[in-house]
Structure 1
Amino acid sequence: MKVTGSLKLMAKDILRFIFWYPSRFIISFLPLRVIYMISSGAGIILYYIAGSKRKIIIEEFKRIFGNTKKRHEINKIAKESFRNMYKDRTEILLYPGLSRERVKKMTFIEGMDKLDRALLLGKGVILLIAHFGANKMVMPALGFKGYKINQIAGRPTDWGNVSGVESRMARKALELELNAEKKFPAKFIYITSNIRPAIRCLKNNEILCLAVDGGGGVKRVRVNFLGRPANLSPNFITLAKATGATILPAFVIRQPDSRHRILIEEPLILNAFYDEQKEWEYNTQTFADIFSKYFYCYPHLYAKKLLNMRLQAGRDPVPFFDDYYESFLPKEDKKYSLKEKIV
């Protein structure tokens, strides 16, 4: 068993090395059309050979869709998920060399008028996103247009502490990803740092990208998301109330030609309650309902998040979905009370 595990780890490290070194230099010279064709093919291959990940993704989709989709439909969504995940992954190699012209070929934005109107108010904008599609492409898409944009995020190197990196090459890959995203025309506010920079950028009438399903902060509220009890962050409510910033939900949708359609929604108006907990729950649920509509149209764009949340369920202070705790975590991982952990 140990020998088999060592061989698997060695194979993964070889693939990481190929991806981050030879591929990184070769891909910068290729046309986007060719890059997406290669990455799509690689995704299909991974669908067939990555059995454990495929199984988890299919299980997650089955839990969400229940009997509304047949087995072959779920498998088709899972296959498209792998194609999309590998396209997203390959795009990371393009980050350091992104230019205004290349980003224009990769993205287009709908709803810019909503963003511009919100900025005219002078109190900043919270662009409320999720780990849906290539959500990071919002930053170069707006940054190269001259907008001052910030992102609350976790360092890729910190993800290793959560998910448990397997080797030195795995840690090196996370460092390379961190260095790649630093090339964006945007500022990262990492969740391990003080939250004051987030408030400051809004008071300076800048844009702050914030993921409701991210790991930032300690607050979580339980909402109904995709027909399951989920624990999402209400931090956007606290920031908006502290600064008067406008909240604009935004979603990144990969098109059939592999370009990213960035869609900015109408402002999310907060409903005020005397009870802060109810306020968090109501307004977070409002976003969850908006997000759910996008998920059911493009479920493959959320597969990577569903996979990652399942894989790290036993390590998270609070699981993303409550049914992880009930169904998937081994008994030794059930060390906490959900009621105690959720604010």
Structure 2
Amino acid sequence: MMRSDSNLSAIRWHAGVLNNGVVFGATYYGVTHLPRACSYAIGHVGTWLAYRLMQDGTQAVVDNLRAIRPQAGERELRYLALLTYRSYARDTIDFIRSLEMDRARLAPMMASFDAAALDDLLAQGRGVLLVGGHFGNWELGGVALRLLHGYALTVIGKAEASPIVGAFRRRMRDSFGIETLEIGQMLETALRIRGLLSANRIVAMLLDRHIGRDCVEVTFFGRSTAFLRTPAMIGYLSGAPLLPAFMIRRPDGRFDGLFGEPIRVDASQSTEKAVHAATQTFARQLEHHIRERPHLWYQFYPYWRT
């Protein structure tokens, strides 16, 4: 089941409202010049306004949450929607704050971050495909991997709707030596990823939004959903494992860096069967975390509209 062109427009529209150059630039300036408590307070008020004024976006979040919590009433769903806006703001603020930190200042933000699973996979010499979703603070996860553990990391993603935001994010990652590779032609992108994995590098991708025809259908919260196909396909061709990764905020404001069960793409099966099975396995792991903390899943558009 493919998303329609109208739904892709909804993705761009809502992303543009929350993630345009003016908003992102103002947020970056405020976070880097104001005390943390002040940034949080502004974010608290700003997200309440977004929740009230972005009626289409808020209704989309409520509808998405209804698939996750089908037994919840309207009041609970709307509370979770407001919490989603506020969690997104806090995660953005904390990511920007982390860019001004050295290792000694960043380490106390991490309640736990055991990278043993990642080390074990890298020791096998095939590289690692670090896979996640638009859940939790994935950008902070990249900073923590680089600054606290010294890993070489390449982030793969589509170009931002706003070139200004894209330039901001690239500069932020560049400041920590995190490479950014924007998805272009599928074959060209796949070849570059293969080269990185051959050098035993870590390549990070988010799977819960597909790009055009680069998709594979999985069951996600009981619904047919298109996830990104490339990671499992690369794993099939290269033998590199997929390692689910999540950066989750605790109530006290610290973070847990969590790794899921490694996913091996079975090269003895047909391509389509192996790619589907691996992506479905990831979808189940992501679904588990979203069920526990639905307000940390950041989809501000009608996710299942077709």
- SS state at 1:221 partner: strand
Q: Which amino acid aligns with 2:131?
A: L
Measured after TM superposition, the shift of residue 298 of structure 1 is: 0.8
Q: Structure 1 residue aligned with 2:180, among 188, 194, 209? A: 188
Q: Structure 2 residue aligned with 1:133, among 129, 136, 153? A: 136
- 1:5-45 CA-to-partner distances (Å, cap 9, x unmatched) read xxxxxxx79x9647624x53342244444433442343234
Given the superposition, is the C-alpha separation of residues 97 and 217 from structure 1 closer, same or farther in structure 2, using an over 3 Å criterion? Answer: farther
Q: Which amino acid aligns with 1:201?
A: L
Give percent identity, aligned residues only.
Answer: 23
Q: Does 1:149 align with 2:153?
A: yes
CA contact (8 A) 1:95 1:180 kept: no
Measured after TM superposition, the shift of residue 142 of structure 1 is: 0.6
Measured after TM superposition, the shift of residue 197 of structure 1 is: 2.4
CA contact (8 A) 2:220 2:283 kept: yes
**In structure 2, what is the Cα distance between the partners aligned to 1:240 and 1:109?**
28
Q: Does 1:268 align with 2:263?
A: yes
Q: Which amino acid aligns with 1:207?
A: I
Measured after TM superposition, the shift of residue 72 of structure 1 is: 2.0
Q: Which amino acid aligns with 1:268?
A: I
Q: Which amino acid aligns with 1:261?
A: D
Q: Which amino acid aligns with 2:175?
A: K
Measured after TM superposition, the shift of residue 284 of structure 1 is: 1.3
1:235 matched to which residue of 2? 230
Measured after TM superposition, the shift of residue 149 of structure 1 is: 0.9
**In structure 2, what is the Cα distance between the partners aligned to 1:235 and 1:36?**
37
- 1:82-115 CA-to-partner distances (Å, cap 9, x unmatched) read 1012223434644653433343243454331111
1:332 matched to which residue of 2? none
- SS state at 2:257 partner: strand
Measured after TM superposition, the shift of residue 190 of structure 1 is: 1.2
- SS state at 2:253 partner: coil
Measured after TM superposition, the shift of residue 245 of structure 1 is: 1.8
Compare CA radii of gyration and give the structure with the larger one.
1
1:163 matched to which residue of 2? none
**What number of residue pairs does the alignment pair up?**
285
- SS state at 1:263 partner: strand
Q: Does 1:199 align with 2:204?
A: no
1:47 matched to which residue of 2? 51
- SS state at 2:204 partner: strand
**In structure 2, what is the Cα distance between the partners aligned to 1:135 and 1:97?**
17
2:214 matched to which residue of 1? 219
1:76 matched to which residue of 2? 79
CA contact (8 A) 1:57 1:78 kept: yes
- SS state at 1:199 partner: helix
Q: Which amino acid aligns with 2:181?
A: I
- 1:117-175 CA-to-partner distances (Å, cap 9, x unmatched) read 1111111111111111221222111111211111111222xx25xxxxxxxxxx54554
Q: Which runs of 5+ in 1 are unaligned?
A: 1-11, 161-170, 311-319, 326-343
**In structure 2, what is the Cα distance between the partners aligned to 1:102 and 1:217?**
40
Q: Structure 1 residue aligned with 2:103, among 97, 100, 103? A: 100
Q: Structure 2 residue aligned with 1:124, among 114, 119, 127? A: 127
- 1:37-78 CA-to-partner distances (Å, cap 9, x unmatched) read 442343234323332221221122224432x11222212211
Q: Does 1 or 2 have the higher relative contact order (CA < 8 Å, sep 6+)?
A: 2
**In structure 1, what is the Cα distance between the partners aligned to 2:242 and 2:24?**
37
CA contact (8 A) 1:125 1:208 kept: yes
Structure 1 vs Structure 2 CA RMSD: 2.8
Given the superposition, is the C-alpha separation of residues 187 and 239 from structure 1 closer, same or farther in structure 2, using an over 3 Å criterion? Answer: same
CA contact (8 A) 1:118 1:246 kept: yes
**In structure 2, what is the Cα distance between the partners aligned to 1:99 and 1:43?**
29
CA contact (8 A) 1:128 1:210 kept: yes
Report the TM-score when normalising by structure 1: 0.73
Given the superposition, is the C-alpha separation of residues 209 and 18 from structure 1 closer, same or farther in structure 2, using an over 3 Å criterion? Answer: closer
**In structure 2, what is the Cα distance between the partners aligned to 1:275 and 1:222?**
16
Q: Which amino acid aligns with 1:281?
A: H
